[in-house]
Structure formats: structure tokens, C-alpha cells
Amino acid sequence: MSSFDGSASWAEVAASGPPQSEEEEEANRIYKMLTNNRHANPVDEVIPTESSVGSLVDVDSGVPAPSEFSEQGVEAGARARIELERDAQDAESVAIEEEAIAHEQGEKAKKDKKQGVEHFGNPVVAINAISVAGALVLLVIGAFKKRQAGALTWKLVGFWTAGLAAFGTADYFVSSYLFKKYPPKGK
């Protein structure tokens, strides 16, 4: 019997494997014992009666439907058609609204992009970006070298963090002063 010729079932292939250890057998026995009586409670059977269908409630209005509701098929169909038309009009107005919002957001994105390019033309912003990027590159290179040498400690990381905070604070005040001296073009 070969497991590749299609004549053996999965159960036969699994049973032909190595025997379970005592630990696996014990775990399997405990699992079976715990899961044997774990079935859902039986569901009571629903027995339809005349009273159970006699008081149908209209879900739209909350009013009980009359017992001769099958005679009102034409009225219900007309009501359904009106509701479908109303839903179509609502969907159309929502689509128009969404298109207007998307257009507005696109215009705002173009304006923001243009402002960003204008601000980067300001020498204060350019120098600020270059100095921050340079400080971060130096910090990363220094940390990498200290890590390779085995000298990177939490105390050193704390000092560098304090230095970075001091640099950020100084950068903020210097940039604020320079923005007053060299305001952006849009202002």
C-alpha cells in the first residue's frame, strides 16, 4: 500500500506513522475527556401557529400589518418602486456631494504643495532642514560607531538625547527669530 497511489486514505497514512509517545497519548486522552461532552444545547423546535403569523409588523412604520396584506400587493409594489426611486435620487445626490468634496480636496492639495515649495525657497527653512538632517546623520553614525566598539550605554544615549533636545530648542528659537527677519513670501 503506497500513500502516493491514491488507494490509501489519510487516516490509514496517519495510522501507519510512528507510534505516539506516552506523553502524547496522555495529552490526547485528556483532550478527548475534556471535549467529549462539549456540545451545544439542543435548539427547541419552532412550531408555527396561526397566532405567530397573525400579527406581522411593518418594519418601516412599526404598525401591525393587516391580515389581508396579500391583497395589497399592488400598493406594496408601488410603495417599493417609490422607495427605489428615492434611494436612487439619494445615491445620486451623495455621488455629486462626494465629487465636490474630492474636487475641493484636490484643489487644497495643490495649494498645500505649492506653499510647501514656496516655503522651501525660504533660506531659513532650507538651512533648518539641512542642519536637522546633518545632526541626525551625525547622531546615527556616532551611535553606530559606539555600538560597534561596544561602548554604547544607556547613559550615553541619555546624554545624546538631552543634547538633541537642546539642539531642537535652540533651533526653534533661532528659526523663530530668522522667520521674523526673513518672513515667508506668502505673508
Cβ-contact 13, 19 below 8 angstroms: no
The yes-or-no verdict on residue 146 having pLDDT over 90 is yes
Residue 39, all three cell numbers: 456540545
The per-residue pLDDT of the chain, averaged, comes to 77
The residues spanned by each domain of the chain are: 73-118, 121-187
Give one DSSP letter per residue of 96-133, joined into a string. Answer: HHHHHHHHHHHHHHHHHHHHHHHHHTSHHHHHHHHHHH
Q: What is the value of pTM for the model shown? A: 0.37
User: CA–CA separation, 130 vs 118, rounded Å?
Assistant: 17
Give one DSSP letter per residue of 15-39, joined into a string. Answer: HTSPPPPHHHHHHHHHHHHHHTT--
| pLDDT tens string 45-55 | 766 666 655 56
Angle subtended by helix axes 123-149 and 73-120, to nearest 10: 90
Cβ-contact 171, 128 below 8 angstroms: yes
Residue with cell 412599526: 62
| pLDDT tens string 13-38 | 777 778 778 888 888 888 777 776 56
pLDDT of residue 1: 47
Cβ-contact 136, 142 below 8 angstroms: no
